[in-house]
Structures are given as C-alpha cells and as structure tokens.
C-alpha cells in the first residue's frame, strides 16, 4: 500500500485545488462548453482580471444545487434553456429581480414572451422544436422527409422516430404542451400517441435525441433547433425543419439571490443581451436564434428569422398560465401513456396500421368500424381538459406543501396506477380489435 | 471462524470510528433525502402508505420483476465471460496472462455516455454489426433491444467483478486440492465443477453478489438505453424531475436498499459454515500446468472471443475518438487526431486527469482500509454489532449517486471547513468521500473474500510467537490478503474514476472537476462527441495502466514470495 | 475388513534415465530406479533434493520429464494424472472442505462412474479400514490432524490404485501420533500388498517403514538400498552424513605390506584391513561415532589416538563426545549405563577405532 500512497501524496500537492479567488463570477449552466466557452472568453477579455467560472450541470442538477446551497450561496448566475427550471427557482425565491438596461429587444418571440414578466430571468436566445433527420438513414431505408407533425403519424415512420420525455426536458415539455394547446386536449393527445406509436425510443436526456439521429440509431428526432444546427455544423449528415405548430421558447439567464458578485453578474447579463453578445450566438457551434432582430442581418443564408418569418412559432398563441398550471400533470400523463408503456402503445399503433393497410381499398364498413374503435381506444386520455386544469387535481402532482395546513387529496402514485391500468387495457383491446379488423 | 475474544480497546475504537464515518457520510445524508418516503403527502406525518402504493402499482411491480430478471441474467452472462478467463489465466501457463487479466478489468472503466454511444454504434439496430448482417444476410439481431440490451451492456460492464474476485480466489486455493482430485481420476470440466469452483465459491459469490446488486441498483445503463421499466430508473426519473417531489422515487430508493441487503444476506447464508481457508497458501507449488498445442489454441480462441466481446465498447470508443463523422455506417467516414489535439489543447483536461487520479486514488485507498478493517472485525473479532458495519457499508451500493449527492449538499453545505473557509460541501475532499462511500461495497466484498480464505491458524501462529493483534494484522493478515485487497483497490479505483452521478452534484468549481465531468461537458454537444470519446480513452488508458502495474506488482510480490518459500520447502 | 491384497494387483515401478527441469533449473538428473511390486520404498533427502518432484512426476504433476516411468511395465510419462491410477496422499492431505468425509472418500469412485451401491459399499469398507466409520458425515475441518490423515489415506486406497504415493504424510502430525500413524500406514500397506513410495526428509521414518530406500540430493539418486546397507556402507559422503552421524576424515590411502594405511590430513592415521573395494589415493575415512571407543588398550594392531574433549551431549540411550584431534572434531558415542565414563571438557582422552566398522571411500 505504501507504494500506492506515495504518488497520491505527490499528486495532492500538484493538483491541490485552487483557493478562493478575489474576482470570480460563478455561473451555473446547462449549456454545452461550445457555447459557454465563447462567452466566457469574450467576457473575460472585456473585464481583465475577472475569472468566469462556468459550472456545468444538468438543468435538474443545477436547480437542486442552487436549492441545496442557498444557505451559503456561492453561485452568481443561473444560465439554462428551460423556462420551467427558472420558474422553480423563482417559486423558491432564489432568483434576484433585475431590470435590464439595454434596449431594443422585443416583447415576444413567436408568441412567447421573451422575459419573465416579474423580471427574475431574461431570455437571451430563442429556440424552437422541430424535426431533425439523418440523410443517410432515410436514404438507405428509402424514407420521406416530413414537413409537419402530422406526417410523423404515417405508418412509413414506424420505429424510426426518437424523442425525449417532457418530464426530462423542459423544452420537450413545451413542444408537447404547444400541440395540446394548438390542436386541443383530446386531438393533441391523439396526435402525440399516434406519433409515439412510431417511436423507436423515448430518450432520457434531451441530447439523446440528436445523438441518436447523428449516429443513425433512429432516423428522425423531435429536437430543439440548435441541436440540429450545431450537429449539421459539426458535419453530421442531418437536416431540420420547423413544423407549423411549434413554439419558440427563450433560453434564459437569471441572477441568483445573494450572489457574491452581483455587480459582475448584472454586467454579464447586459453583455449577453448587447449586440456584441448576441452576435456570438451565430457561431457555427452555437447556432441559436438571437433575441435582437437586427442581428439576423449577419446570419448565414437559410438561417431562420422568427422576427420576419411569421410561420415560425406563431401559429399558436401560447397560454403560459395554462401550461404552468398543469405542468407536472402533463408530464406524468405523457410518461404513463407513452414513456412507460411504449411497447404496448407501439404494438397497438402497429396493429392499427397493419389493419388499415390490409383493408385499404376494400371498403369493409365493419372492419373500418373496428379500426376506428381501436383508434379511439389508443387516443383515449384518462382525464379531460377540464380536469387537467382543475387546480386541486393538478396539486396532486405538485405536492410542494408550503404550509403544514395545506391539504391535498389523492396521491400521485394512486392516480398514476389508475391511469396505467386503463391505458394498458385500452392498448391491449385496441390490438385485439385491430387484429380482428385485419383478418376480415 | 469467529474468534470469541471480545475485541480489544484497539479493535473496538476502530469499529467505532468506522461506524461514525458511515453514520456521518452515509446514513445521515441519505436519511435527510429519503425521509420523504415515510412522509404522508397530505399531512407530512409519518406513514407507510407510500409503500402500500408501491406494491399496488403495477408499473412498479413490473419494474421490480424486470430488475430482478435483468440482474439474474446479467450474473449468468457475466459468469460465462468471467469464468473461462479466470480459470485459464490462473491454472495454465499462458503467455500474456497479466495482460489478459488487465484487459479483463478494462470494461469496468466505461466512461459515462460515450460507452453507451459506442455500444449503440456497434451493436445497435443500425450499428456496425447489424448493418453488416443486414447487407450480407438480410437480417438483424436486436442486441440492444429493451432488457436484452441492458443485460448485454451490464454483463459486459460488470463481469470484471467476478473475474477479479474469482481469480483471487482461484489463486488462493491450495494446489494440492486440485491435484488430489486429478490423482483420483478427475479432470476437465468435472474437476472444475466438483472441486475448483466450489473451493473458489467465496470469491465467486463475492463477485456475483456485486454484479447482481450493482445491476439491480444501476440506473446509468438502463437510462442510456432508454429502458424505463426497471426500479432504479423509475426512482431516478421521479427524483430528478424538476419541481416535483414525488415520494415514490424515494420509496423506490428505500426498497432498493432493503432488497440489496436481503440479497446480500442471502449470499452470506449461502456461504455460512464453510471453511474455505487454505492452510497451506501456495502449498504444493504455484505451478501452472502446461497446455498441449491444440488445447492452447482452443483456449486462446475462447479468450480472444470473450475479450473481443467485452472490449467492444472500448474498441468502439477508440474508433469514435479517432473518427471524423460516424453516422449510420459500419466504420467512421475518416480518421483524425483532431479530437485528441482538442482535448490536450484544453488546459482543463490535464486538471481533470490529475483530479481524477487524486480523487479515485484516495477514495480507493480509504475503501481498502475500511474494507479490510470491516472484514477483520466481522471475521476475526466478536465485537457486538460488527455485522452492522458490513450491512451499512454494503447498503451504499443501493443508494443512487444523485441521492447521495443531494444528501451531501444538504448536510454539509452549512459546515465551514476551518482554515480554508469554504463549505465542506464545496471542498474537493467531499468528492473523495462521496466516491469512497459509493465504491466502498466493491472493496469490502473483495477484502472479505480475501480474509475468508486466510486460515485463522496462520494468524494464531503469529500471535503464538508473540505478535500483538495489530502486528499480526500488519505482518501476516494483510500480506496474505494482498491479492484480494489489490482487487478491491482496483475495482474501487477504476469505477470511481468514471463515476458521474454524485460528482456532478458535488463539483463546485471547474478546477476541482474530475474526468467524468469533463466527458459529460463534451458530450453535451454534437461537436463534443469525438473529444468526449478521446477523453474517455485517456481515462481508460490511465486506469488500465494503473491496473496493469498493480498486477505486475502483485505478480512480482507473489513470485518473490514463492521463491522464498521454495527455498525452504519442496521445489 | 474386505479390502485385501487380492483386490489390488501389485505392480512394479521402473524409472529410467529421468530428467526434469523447471525452466532452466535442473531438478532431476538421470534418475534410474526399480521398485518391485509390493515393496514399501522411501525417497529420502533434504529439502530441495528433488524427492517430492520425483514423486509428483510419478503422479503426473509438474513439468513433463524426459525419460520413462513404467508402472507395471507401461510407460505413463505421457498420461495425464487422472489416467495413471497411482494414488497419492498429499502432505497437506488436501481434503476438500466443501465435502463430507464420506463424499471425499467417494470422490474417486464417483469419477470412475461406479454404481451407487458399489460406491457406498467400498467407501464403507475404506472408512472401516481406517477406523473412521462414525465420522462419515463430518466435514474435514471438524477432524483432528490424525483423522484427516486417515481420511486422505482412505480416499486414496478406495480407488485401488496400482501404486500408493505418500508425500511427507507424517510431517503435520505431532510426535506421538507420528509413530502410531507410521505403524498404521505400514500395516495398511502390508495388508494391501500395495507398492508404496514414501517421501520423507526424516531418516528415522524412512528406516522404520521402508524395506528399501533411495537417498536423493541435488536431483540425483545418491544410493539405493536397505536401511542397514545405507547406514553401514554409505556410497558417499552425503549419504554417510545424511543417515545419522558420521566421522569423515579426509586423507590418503596407501597400500602397505599387511594391507592398507590411511593417513589423514589432520594427522590421524589408521591401518585398515578391510580391502574390498578399497583403492589407494585420496579419499576419506568414515566411521560412526559408536564405532570409536575410549580406552588406552586398543586391540592388536589398532592405533591409539588422543585428543581433548570439546563438549558432550547426553542423548538418553547414549552419550556423545566431541574430541578435538589436531583441530578436527571426532564424534564418539558411548552407550549410556550408570557409571559410564564422564569426561570433563578440556580433559585429555585416548580412544581407538573399531577396525571392523571403519572404511575408506575414494573422493
């Protein structure tokens, strides 16, 4: 053991981690190094002697980190995509209100407000969900290029699509919610479930989707735009489109309450929103949509401009309040109906697709009726929209008891078990009906 | 085997010290997080209703069965990989046995994210092998589909636990045990099945139990393969979602811990009352048998086949690190060293490496010390509650890294470390402690198996000639356990070097970040895949080199030992 | 007692020009040995002499030797251990801890795929033979050393081996048990008429058990013969020194009119009348301590020597003196009876040699 100890001790001298520094700005971020390093370098250049520490954590881990360390806070900024993560911090009173000095940034991008109305976090770039695909994959398998969400419902896409779960990724959640608002609760879920019936997988991380498309694990991915742009810029044989119904969502930054270096934190925010900072977003490795409309003049050809092209992200007027109220409920519902029962759902959708193919052109009313019934069973949602917006019901999924006197009826596990039982039975029944229809 | 001596002042204080360490750094932080499992969501009062919900939920019951199935199948598959490697390298004269043993440990060092990407690129539905199969034979094999994929990846990943422990056990068997069986007419598979394997059972069980528990509790692999219907991912998904505090995640954590303890207890029962210790360690010569040419050829074939399979993630990783674009093709489009250049041009990379060596090394060092101490307390003293230490330490296996990480933040953030004026939770030492706690079970099992094979007679002999208990441990027990302790050190070190889930919670400045964190940062973007893989390869090489050197050291030690004893014994 | 000699076909063991090395180290060199059927034969030698290696080579363990080992006329050098039918009892007994005594003993029979009834019967007989019937269901670690030894023996003889090999079987037992076990092994061997080879470093063990033995040193057989032959007429200095105490005096042998005269380098000279095999030239004079006698009146034509007593040891049945004669010790042993001579250290003494038992070996 002595032999092993010696180099360790030697190492501890060499690697002795840095001591506290005088001028330091600590940024908790979920953004990739490709993005953060560009801003870090530029900002440090502007403020010689300042050390910007980019502490990269998954969004969820970052939120927990700030929550758990609040008593002895060492972080200055929280910098991440998902507005909901900021909402959580804001709800816990962990963000500092800040009035942006710089001007020239519009109120909304697409139909989503850029800044938090309460001023605790600011949007600095927009991002929208769309469909990304692998050119080699679709060429080898002779698959079409989709134009809209509804295309993904076609049987030809069966087993070729990947998506992240909304409970895992805030932006994915917004995509799900956008469609639910755009198409209506029931129709929206029906669309999602039919698309999900064509899923290859539901990934745990949001980056798992572009990763899967890049490596050819599956052909199509429902991804946030910059993942596709930066993949393409890195040389992967991939491409991307925005479907009609999408929401542009701002990626945000907020100052942490009791920030040790609040002055520099504010400076950083201003820098991010300035012309200079916004231009950096067009770096090929970053490729995010700036929130300053005038920056688009410098963008490469074909780069989407949501401030000009009204087709991007403006088809739906996004109801933020509605989204917030049923946030956890929608996630839970998606997981119960899709993520955890993907096998069953896929089997049901496949059976229906096969039945339809078998009956195509046959005009068998009875079979058609069975197919319709099967479809209805797959589409069926355990709760209706009114229930989803019932605050008492949604509270089961929030369960942040602020006061000891707060009472919540029902437990999430109990409710989920009821949903699960119903969903499973419906999928099984749908397979049965579809098989019957197919053999007619 | 238990000495009825009630433990001296020294052993008792050692036991207390370990107990305090585990209490402070495992029990308290974890309890601070999982108490939610026992809280009534309505009123906040104590309840078991959440556990009722667990068993009433079909998804959880299914997940439980899936986890059980995957863990059992992984043990079987891992045994199929490990047993031939361990047996061939310990029983026959074999060129490159040390290299084979080292390569056999490499799979444990599966860097986060990149390992799974590499596996998908090779074995996925559109991975190299299936693309080739499809092109030439028109069919594909769903290696990575659902639970199959988890079983394949887990058994490749964790089979070294069996390999290492089994090899150590095989090395410790008195060769006369096998020779007497051969002498009585037994050979080949029957000899292995009836004599060799049963005698190596403590080592095998130690390894197999680790594989079982680890797979049962592992969430990384199922998550990366997007398999949700297992217990650990269910716990994780519910714990780590933003803004929710669904108690079920913590309920599942508690159930994981309890089940792990039950499984461990069962494995102990299976070994109870068996004295496997070898009076004559190395007696009858450390001789290995020569193989006939055709036997040698066959063995090499089997070994290479296994090595190829278990190293395929790393082969994939190498390709990934040198490849330009690798997308829906059998091999990357072209090759480049740019990814390595990028890694090395980055100042952080060197720091990641030194930090990793420091953290993993210290953690593994702490682990073998505590592991040896607990093993000794359990097997050689009659101290009351000594088993509790074992159970406590092993329970760490079932604590998800994220739970431990949150627990540490919650418990130690308000504690200022004197002199450096920093919260303990953001001091780099906390990462070492977290790693030590998380990898302690590995080292502990290895140390226990090793001590179980050391005959108490040898210690009594030492005490008989006047050595104190401490000196006996120091001069007799530890040298005899050296192989097992080293096995424990290697497993702890190698796996700590690529741990991410707790470290990512605890890394408070980039200067303190280890390699796994660096890989994570690269793997956040499409352009980072190559450099991430390159960093992964660097991690593997460093840890692999360390393992190889340790093997060399132990071989050298054994050799010197054998020569010394031969001078005084028969050749 | 149903295992008898008739169950076992005694066979001979013939070793011819056997060489064996571990890598570059030669461990056995040119071993030739013939052991007739039914003999109890011992390999005697110090640690590292190659005796165990030779035994293991017969059992088929260790590197493949050059030369031949024939058992019952069949060369077995190329047979693996499990096809040789030579039963070996290991020094550590090598009882398998995971099996009961009964299972241990049954092992070889199970491997031979005998039917269950026969196995049970033969295991029963073997356990009875060694007197352990009652302990059949114990585990090895619940047995004493002597009991373990018996189990190991039973386990080996139950397969009715052609040859029984015993590797230092008594070294792990305490002194009293050793003597008893020695008798038991001998009785068993005689009962079964089993060709037996016994490896030991203890000459008393070899003397008391074997009918003939081979003394090994440095991988070479030094001498083969009955215990008495080896003791009385050792073939070389090593054998002489290894088997009991011997006085060895280097010098030169001359031929005289009457016979021979030895002139030692230390000045001791002695006439010899035993001429057989004696040749003139350099060599050594060898005599056992009990073949020198104190006294001033030697028999006719016998030289009288004098020296100084350096030390003495009391051995129970005898007393041993070291007498310094011109700077070299001569050991002299006298039987101990009450009133035997007792010299003080430093005392000048005279002694003479028993000419019948003094002999010369060429160097």
C139 Cα to chain B: minimum distance (Å):
9
- Cβ atoms of A417 and A338 within 8 Å: the answer is no
- The chains found to touch B (3+ Cβ pairs under 8 angstroms) are A, C
Asked if C107 lies within 8 A of B184 by C-beta distance, the reply is yes
Cβ pair B285:C62 closer than 8 A: yes
Is the CB of residue B185 less than 8 Å away from at least one CB of chain C? yes
Please give the pLDDT value at position A413.
Answer: 82
Choice among A7-21, B399-413, C243-257 with the minimum mean pLDDT = A7-21
Contact exists between C and B (3 or more beta carbon pairs < 8 Å): yes
pLDDT at A3: 42
In B416-435, the residues whose Cβ lies within 8 Å of chain A are 416, 420-423, 425-426, 428
pLDDT digits (tens, 9 = 90+) for C37-65: 999 999 999 988 999 999 999 998 888 89
C354 versus A320: the higher-pLDDT residue is C354
Dist. CA B25–CA B440, nearest whole Å: 12
Q: Which of B308-322, B397-411, C203-217, C285-299 has the lowest mean pLDDT?
A: B397-411
CB B455 within 8 A of CB C92: no
In the 3-class helix/strand/coil scheme, how is B132-190 assigned residue by residue?
Answer: HHHHHHCCCCCCCCHHHHHHHHHHHHHHHHHHHHHHHHHHHCCHHHHHHHHHCCCCHHH
What distance lies between CA C207 and its chain's CA centroid? 6
Q: Which residues of C touch B283 (CB under 8 A)?
A: 91-92
Residues 105-134 of B with CB under 8 A from A: 117, 120-121, 124-127
Task: Give me the pLDDT at residue B489, please.
Answer: 87
C112 neighbourhood in chain B, CB within 8 Å: 185
Optimal mutation site among B328, B347, B443, interface A, most CBs of chain A within 10 A: B328
For B191-195, what is the mean pLDDT?
89
Chain A touched by B56 (CB under 8 Å): yes
Cβ-defined contact of B327 to A420 (cutoff 8 Å)? no
pLDDT for B561 beyond 70: no
Q: Does B528 reach chain A within 8 Å, measured CB to CB?
A: yes
Residue B15 clears pLDDT 70, i.e. is over it: yes
Interface of C with B (CB under 8 A): 22, 27, 47-48, 50-53, 59-64, 80-88, 90-92, 94, 96-98, 107-108, 111-112, 139, 141, 152, 155-156, 159
The reply to whether B195 touches chain C by the CB within 8 Å rule is: yes
**B138 and chain A in contact, CB less than 8 A:** no
Q: What Cα–Cα distance (Å) separates residue C108 from each residue in C79, C97, C118, C130, C157?
A: 17, 16, 12, 17, 10
Residue A349: pLDDT band by 50, 70, 90 thresholds? very high
Facing residue for A32 by CB, picked from B326, B504, B525: B525
Q: What subunits make at least 3 CB pairs under 8 angstroms with A? A: B
Name which residue leads in pLDDT, B550 or C137. C137
B524 contacts A32? CB cut-off 8 A: yes
Q: Between chains, do C90 and B186 touch, taking CB under 8 Å as contact?
A: no
CB contact under 8 A, C59 and B176: no
Give the pLDDT band of residue B92 (cuts 50, 70, 90): confident
**Mean of pLDDT values over C132-148:** 89
Please name the helix (run of DSSP H) or strand (run of DSSP E) that holds residue A129, with its range, or none. Answer: strand A121-134
- Distance, in Å, from the CA atom of A54 to the CA atom of A40, rounded to the nearest integer, reads 8
Q: What is B521-559 written as a DSSP string?
A: HHTTSGGGHHHHHHHHHHHHHHHHHHHHHHHHHHHHHHH
pLDDT tens by residue, A96-151 = 999 999 888 888 887 788 898 899 999 999 888 899 999 999 999 999 999 888 89
- Say how far residue B278 (Cα) sits from the centre of its chain: 26
* Residue showing tokens 């479930």: A193
Q: Cα separation of C82 and C204, whole Å?
A: 32
| B45 touching chain A per CB within 8 A | no
Contacts of B1 in chain C (CB under 8 A): none
Q: Is the pLDDT of residue C215 over 90?
A: yes
Q: Tell me what the mean pLDDT of segment B123-129 comes to.
A: 89
- Return the pLDDT at B319: 93
Partner residue opposite B571 with nearest CB, options C48, C59, C60: C48
Cβ–Cβ below 8 Å for B124 and A215: yes
Least confident range of A294-308, B146-160, B251-265, B286-300: B286-300
Residues 6+ apart with CB under 8 A from B283: B174, B175, B176, B569, C91, C92
Cα(A141)–Cα(A217) distance, rounded to whole angstroms?
A: 13
Nearest CA in chain C to B455: C141
What average pLDDT does chain B have?
A: 81
Q: Does B239 touch chain A (CB under 8 A)?
A: no
CB contact under 8 A, A88 and B242: yes
Q: List B residues 226-285 in contact with C (Cβ-Cβ < 8 A).
A: 274-276, 279-280, 283-285
* Angle at B500 (CA atoms; ends B494, B501), nearest 5 degrees: 130
What is the chain B residue with the closest CA to A327? B243
Confidence of residue C8 (pLDDT cuts 50, 70, 90): low
Q: Do chain A and chain C touch with ≥3 beta carbon pairs under 8 Å? A: no
Give chain B positions within 8 Å (CB) of A134.
Answer: 327-328
pLDDT value at A421 more than 80: yes
Could you tell me the two tokens for A273?
């929103």
Question: Smallest CA–CA separation between C323 and chain B, in Å?
Answer: 32
CA closest to C51 among chain B residues: B570
Average pLDDT, stretch C20-24? 85
* B204-215 pLDDT tens trace: 888 898 899 888
> For residue A407, is pLDDT > 80?
no
- How close are the terminal C-alpha atoms of chain C, in Å? 53
Ranges A341-345, C284-288, C300-304: which has the least confidence = C300-304
Confidence of residue C2 (pLDDT cuts 50, 70, 90): very low
CB of C201 closer than 8 Å to CB of C242: no
Tell me, what's the pLDDT at C238?
A: 92
Count residue pairs from B and C with Cβ separation < 8 A.
104
Distance CA C322, CA C308 (A): 8
pLDDT tens per residue, range C97-116: 888 999 999 999 998 889 99
User: What value does the mean pLDDT take over residues B110-117?
Assistant: 76
How far is the first Cα of chain B from the last one, in angstroms, to the nearest whole number? 31
- pLDDT per residue over B65-90, tens digit each? 999 999 999 999 999 999 999 988 88
* Beta-carbon contacts of residue B563 (< 8 Å; ≥ 6 apart): none
pLDDT 10s digits, A145-186: 998 888 999 999 999 999 998 887 777 888 898 889 888 899
Q: What confidence tens digit (pLDDT) does each residue in B346-385 have?
A: 777 888 888 988 999 999 999 999 998 998 888 888 788 8
Q: What is the pLDDT of residue A1?
A: 38
Does C71 score more than 90 pLDDT?
A: yes
| Per-residue pLDDT at A400 exceeds 70 | no
A–B interface: beta-carbon pairs under 8 A: 256
* Residues near C325 by beta carbon (within 8 Å), at least 6 away in sequence: C266, C267, C268, C305, C306, C307
Judged by CB atoms closer than 8 Å, whether chains meet at B504 and A61 is answered as yes
Query: Which is higher by pLDDT, A314 or B368?
Result: B368
For residue C249, give the 3-state DSSP assignment.
strand
Q: Cβ–Cβ of A343/B146 closer than 8 Å?
A: yes
One DSSP character per residue, C140-203 reads GGGS-HHHHHHHHHHHHHTT--SEEEEESTTTTS-HHHHHHHHHHHHHHHHHHT-EEEEEES-H
**Model-level pTM?**
0.81
- Looking up tokens 């803004």 gives B243
Q: Which has the minimum average pLDDT: A13-27, B539-553, C258-272, C331-345? A: A13-27
CB contact under 8 A, C51 and B570: yes
pLDDT above 60 (res C247): yes
Which residues on A lie below 8 Å from B126 (Cβ)? 137, 216-218
Residue B276: what pLDDT? 58
CB contact under 8 A, C88 and B179: yes
Contact call for B283 and C141, based on CB within 8 A = no
Contact A201 B226 (CB under 8 A): yes
Q: Is C1 a residue whose pLDDT tops 70?
A: no
Burial of C137 per CB tally in 10 Å (0-12, 13-18, 19+): exposed
- Please tell me the predicted confidence (pLDDT) of residue B545: 83
Residues A190-249 have pLDDT tens digits of: 999 999 999 999 988 888 899 999 999 999 999 988 889 889 888 899 999 988 777 788
Q: Which of C53, C87, C92 sits opposite B283 (nearest CB)?
A: C92
């Amino acid at each position: 053991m002595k032999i092993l100890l010696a180099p360790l001790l030697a190492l501890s001298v060499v690697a002795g981690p840095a001591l506290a520094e005088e001028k330091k700005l600590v940024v908790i971020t979920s953004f990739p190094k490709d993005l953060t390093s560009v801003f870090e370098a530029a900002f440090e250049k502007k403020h010689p002697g300042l050390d910007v520490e980019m502490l990269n954590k998954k969004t969820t881990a970052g939120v927990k980190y700030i929550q758990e360390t609040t008593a002895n806070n060492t972080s200055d900024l929280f910098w991440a995509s998902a507005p909901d993560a900021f909402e959580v911090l804001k709800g816990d009173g962990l963000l500092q209100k800040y009035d942006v000095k710089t001007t020239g940034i519009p109120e909304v991008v697409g139909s989503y407000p850029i800044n938090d109305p309460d001023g605790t976090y600011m949007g600095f770039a927009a991002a929208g969900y769309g469909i990304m695909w692998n050119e080699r994959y679709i060429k080898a398998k002779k698959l079409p290029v989709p134009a809209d969400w509804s295309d993904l419902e076609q049987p030809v896409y069966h087993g070729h699509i990947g998506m992240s779960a909304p409970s895992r990724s805030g932006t994915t959640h917004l995509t799900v919610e956008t469609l639910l608002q755009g198409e209506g609760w029931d129709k929206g879920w029906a669309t999602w479930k039919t698309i999900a019936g064509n899923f290859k997988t539901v990934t745990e991380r949001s980056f798992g989707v572009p990763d899967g498309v890049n490596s050819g694990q599956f052909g199509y991915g429902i991804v946030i735009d910059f993942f596709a742009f930066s993949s393409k810029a890195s040389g992967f044989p991939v491409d991307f489109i925005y479907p009609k119904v999408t929401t542009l969502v701002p990626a945000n930054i907020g100052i942490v309450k009791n920030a040790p270096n609040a002055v520099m934190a504010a400076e950083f925010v201003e820098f991010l929103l300035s012309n200079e900072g916004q231009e950096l977003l067009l770096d090929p490795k970053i490729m995010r949509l700036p929130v300053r409309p005038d920056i688009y003049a410098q963008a490469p050809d074909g780069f989407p401009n949501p401030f000009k092209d009204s087709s991007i992200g403006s088809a739906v007027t996004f109801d933020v309040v509605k989204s917030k109220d049923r946030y956890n409920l929608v996630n839970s519902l998606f997981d119960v109906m899709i993520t955890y029962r993907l096998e069953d759902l896929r089997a049901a959708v496949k059976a229906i697709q096969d039945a339809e193919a078998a009956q195509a052109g046959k005009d068998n009313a009875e079979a058609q009726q069975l197919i319709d019934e099967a479809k209805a069973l797959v589409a069926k949602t355990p709760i209706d929209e009114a229930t989803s917006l019932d605050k008492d019901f949604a509270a089961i999924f929030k369960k942040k008891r602020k006061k000891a006197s707060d009472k919540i009826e029902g437990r999430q596990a109990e409710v989920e078990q009821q949903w699960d039982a119903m969903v499973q039975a419906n999928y099984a029944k749908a397979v049965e009906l579809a098989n019957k229809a197919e053999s007619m | 085997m238990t000495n009825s001596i009630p433990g001296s002042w020294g052993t008792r204080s050692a036991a207390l010290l370990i107990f305090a360490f585990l209490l402070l750094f495992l029990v308290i932080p974890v309890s601070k997080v999982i108490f939610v499992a026992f809280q009534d969501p309505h009123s906040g009062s104590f309840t078991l209703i959440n556990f009722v919900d667990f068993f009433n939920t079909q998804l959880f019951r299914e997940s439980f069965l899936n986890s059980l199935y995957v863990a059992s199948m992984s043990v079987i598959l891992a045994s199929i990989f490990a047993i031939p490697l361990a047996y061939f390298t310990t029983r026959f004269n074999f060129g490159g046995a040390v290299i084979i043993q080292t390569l056999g440990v490499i799979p444990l060092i599966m860097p986060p994210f990149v390992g799974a990407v590499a596996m998908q690129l090779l074995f996925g539905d559109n991975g190299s092998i299936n693309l080739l199969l499809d092109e030439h034979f028109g069919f594909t094999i769903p290696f990575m589909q659902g639970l199959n994929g988890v079983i394949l990846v887990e058994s490749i990943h964790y089979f070294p636990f069996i390999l290492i422990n089994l090899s150590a056990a095989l090395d410790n068997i008195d060769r006369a045990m096998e020779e007497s069986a051969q002498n009585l007419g037994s050979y080949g598979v029957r000899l292995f099945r009836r004599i060799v394997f049963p005698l190596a059972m403590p080592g095998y069980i130690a390894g197999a139990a680790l594989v079982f528990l680890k797979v049962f509790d592992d969430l990384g692999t199922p998550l990366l393969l997007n398999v949700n219907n297992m217990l650990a991912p269910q716990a994780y998904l519910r714990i780590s979602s933003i803004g929710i505090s669904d108690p079920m995640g913590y309920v599942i954590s508690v159930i994981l811990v309890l089940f792990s303890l039950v499984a461990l207890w069962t494995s102990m029962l299976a070994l109870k009352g068996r004295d496997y210790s070898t009076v004559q360690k190395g007696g009858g010569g450390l001789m290995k048998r020569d193989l006939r040419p055709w036997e040698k050829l066959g063995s090499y074939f089997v070994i290479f086949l296994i090595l190829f399979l278990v190293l395929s993630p790393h082969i994939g990783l190498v390709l990934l690190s040198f490849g330009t674009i690798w997308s829906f093709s059998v091999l990357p489009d072209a090759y480049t060293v740019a990814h390595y250049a990028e890694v090395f041009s980055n100042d952080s990379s060197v720091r990641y490496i030194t930090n990793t060596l420091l953290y993993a090394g210290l953690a593994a060092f702490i682990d073998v010390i505590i592991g040896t101490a607990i093993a000794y307390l359990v097997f050689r003293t009659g101290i009351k509650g000594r088993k509790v230490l074992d159970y406590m330490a092993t329970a760490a296996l079932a604590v998800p890294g994220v739970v431990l990480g949150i627990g540490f933040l919650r418990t130690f953030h308000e504690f200022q470390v004197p002199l450096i004026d920093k919260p303990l939770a953001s001091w780099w030492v906390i990462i070492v402690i977290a790693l030590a706690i998380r990898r302690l079970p590995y080292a502990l099992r290895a140390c226990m198996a090793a001590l179980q094979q050391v005959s108490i007679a040898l210690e009594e002999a030492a005490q008989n000639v006047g050595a104190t208990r401490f000196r006996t441990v120091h001069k007799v027990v530890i040298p005899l356990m050296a192989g097992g302790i080293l096995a424990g050190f290697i497993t702890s070190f190698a796996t700590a070097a690529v741990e991410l889930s707790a470290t990512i919670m605890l890394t408070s400045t980039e200067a303190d970040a280890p390699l796994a964190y660096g890989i994570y940062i690269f793997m956040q973007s499409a352009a980072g895949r190559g450099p991430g893989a390159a960093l992964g390869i660097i991690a593997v090489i460093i840890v692999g080199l360390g393992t190889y050197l340790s093997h060399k050291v132990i071989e050298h030690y054994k050799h010197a030992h054998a020569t010394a004893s031969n001078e005084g014994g028969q050749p | 007692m149903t295992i008898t000699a008739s169950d076992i076909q005694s066979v001979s063991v013939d070793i011819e020009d056997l060489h064996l090395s571990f890598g570059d180290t030669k461990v056995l060199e040119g071993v030739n040995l013939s052991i007739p059927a039914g003999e109890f034969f011992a390999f005697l030698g110090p640690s590292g002499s190659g005796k165990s290696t030779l035994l293991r080579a017969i059992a088929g363990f260790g590197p493949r030797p050059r030369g031949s080992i024939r058992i019952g006329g069949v060369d077995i050098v190329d047979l693996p251990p499990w096809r040789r039918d030579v039963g070996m009892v290991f020094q550590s007994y090598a009882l398998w801890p995971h099996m009961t005594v009964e299972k241990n003993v049954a092992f070889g029979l199970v491997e031979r795929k005998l039917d269950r009834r026969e196995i049970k019967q033969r295991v029963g007989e073997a356990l009875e033979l060694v007197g352990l019937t009652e302990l059949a269901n114990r585990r090895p670690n619940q047995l004493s050393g002597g009991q373990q030894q018996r189990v190991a023996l039973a386990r080996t003889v139950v397969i009715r081996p052609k040859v029984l090999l015993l590797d230092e079987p008594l070294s792990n037992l305490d002194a009293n048990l050793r003597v008893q076990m020695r008798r038991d092994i001998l009785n068993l061997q005689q009962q079964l008429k089993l060709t037996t080879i016994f490896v030991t470093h203890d000459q008393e063990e070899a003397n008391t058990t074997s009918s003939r033995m081979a003394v090994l040193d440095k991988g070479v057989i030094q001498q083969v013969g009955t215990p008495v032959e080896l003791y009385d007429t050792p073939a070389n200095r090593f054998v002489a020194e290894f088997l009991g105490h011997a006085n060895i005096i280097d010098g030169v042998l001359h031929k005289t009119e009457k016979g021979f005269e030895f002139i030692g380098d230390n000045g001791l000279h002695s006439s010899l009348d035993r001429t057989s095999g004696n040749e003139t030239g350099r060599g050594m004079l060898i005599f056992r301590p009990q073949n020198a006698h104190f006294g001033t009146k030697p028999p006719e034509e016998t030289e009288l020597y004098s020296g100084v007593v350096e030390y003495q040891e009391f051995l129970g049945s005898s007393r041993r003196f070291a007498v310094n004669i011109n700077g070299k010790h001569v050991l002299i042993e006298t039987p101990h009876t009450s009133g035997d001579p007792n010299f003080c250290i430093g005392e000048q003494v005279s002694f003479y040699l028993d000419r019948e038992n003094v002999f010369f070996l060429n160097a």
